[in-house]
Homo-oligomer: A and B are copies of this chain.
Amino acid sequence: MRRKKTQIGVPTIERIVRYCRYLERLYYVEKRDVISSAEIGEALGLKPTQVRKDLSYFGEIGKRGVGYSVEELYFHLMGILPCPKDCRLFKIALFGAGRLGKALLDYEMFSKRGVDIVAVFDRNRQKVGKTINGRYIYHIDEAETVLRAQNVSIAIICVPASEAQSVADRIVNSGVIKGILNFAPVDLTVPKDILVSNMDISAELEKLIYFIREREYGQPLSV
């Protein structure tokens, strides 16, 4: 038997996250009752047809001639995305207790979504043994042991670029990690059963500048 090919693509999932966040505000703050695909599109910079196509992947949620019930749509999408219920199922560890790591430890959006970082690792022995925002800092050499003991499944890497690959190797070695959120500006090499999501701040800035420059000085790189 042949497997059905049509999987929901990455771009769609990325937009679903955005719809969800927008609807959350509509539901709790603005107390809106119904919303049209046109209005969602306007708020998020998308064409109405794109919005409708995305939403239609998960069943007929809207009412023709009316629009979408904000409540219904919001809870429907919440059911598709992992948060907040599944965020607790997936334990998270943070590597690197530098400034960025510390910032993430009390990131408003994490606590709001039920994301909980259960362990923090650092190479600096001065930091090890201390507590940061209620989390104990382990030495990085204890990573494999602690990750296995706590059954952590997601790692956030916030160490300098030069150390990131060796941290990734330990993570892989633990055998329990299924996904990595990488803030270090390097491409990590990991077995392909581990998902890696890169949050590269300087790359994003470079991209932004590239496109600004392109606009300014009439598309300099058209072929």
Name A223's closest neighbour in chain B (CB-CB): B6
Partner of A43, one of B81, B108, B153, B187: B187
Name A188's closest neighbour in chain B (CB-CB): B45
- The listed residue with most B CB atoms (<10 A of its CB), out of A6, A87, A153, A201, is A201
Minimal beta-carbon separation of A192 from chain B (angstroms) = 8
Q: How far is the CA of A58 from the CA of B222 in the complex (A)?
A: 10
Name A46's closest neighbour in chain B (CB-CB): B187
Whether a CB of chain B sits under 8 angstroms from the CB of A202 is yes
Partner of A206, one of B82, B202, B207: B82
Whether a CB of chain B sits under 8 angstroms from the CB of A75 is no
Partner of A197, one of B10, B43, B207, B222: B207
Partner of A223, one of B8, B17, B185: B8
What B residues does A203 contact at CB under 8 A?
14, 17-18, 21
Residues A179 and B44 in contact, CB atoms below 8 Å apart: no
Q: How far is the CA of A100 from the CA of B210 in the complex (A)?
A: 24
Map CB proximity to B onto A197-223 as digits: 1 under 8 Å, 0 otherwise: 101111111111111110110010111
Whether a CB of chain B sits under 8 angstroms from the CB of A64 is no
Whether a CB of chain B sits under 8 angstroms from the CB of A118 is no
Minimal beta-carbon separation of A85 from chain B (angstroms) = 11
Name A17's closest neighbour in chain B (CB-CB): B203
Minimal beta-carbon separation of A86 from chain B (angstroms) = 6
Residues B106 and A99 in contact, CB atoms below 8 Å apart: yes
Map CB proximity to B onto A87-121 as digits: 1 under 8 Å, 0 otherwise: 10010000000111011101111100101000000
The 19 sampled A-B contact pairs (Cβ below 8 Å) are A4-B222, A6-B222, A10-B207, A21-B203, A57-B223, A81-B210, A82-B213, A86-B209, A99-B99, A103-B103, A108-B161, A109-B201, A110-B202, A154-B205, A178-B212, A178-B215, A179-B212, A181-B204, A197-B205
Nearest 5 interchain pairs by C-beta: A99-B103, A82-B209, A109-B202, A100-B103, A103-B103
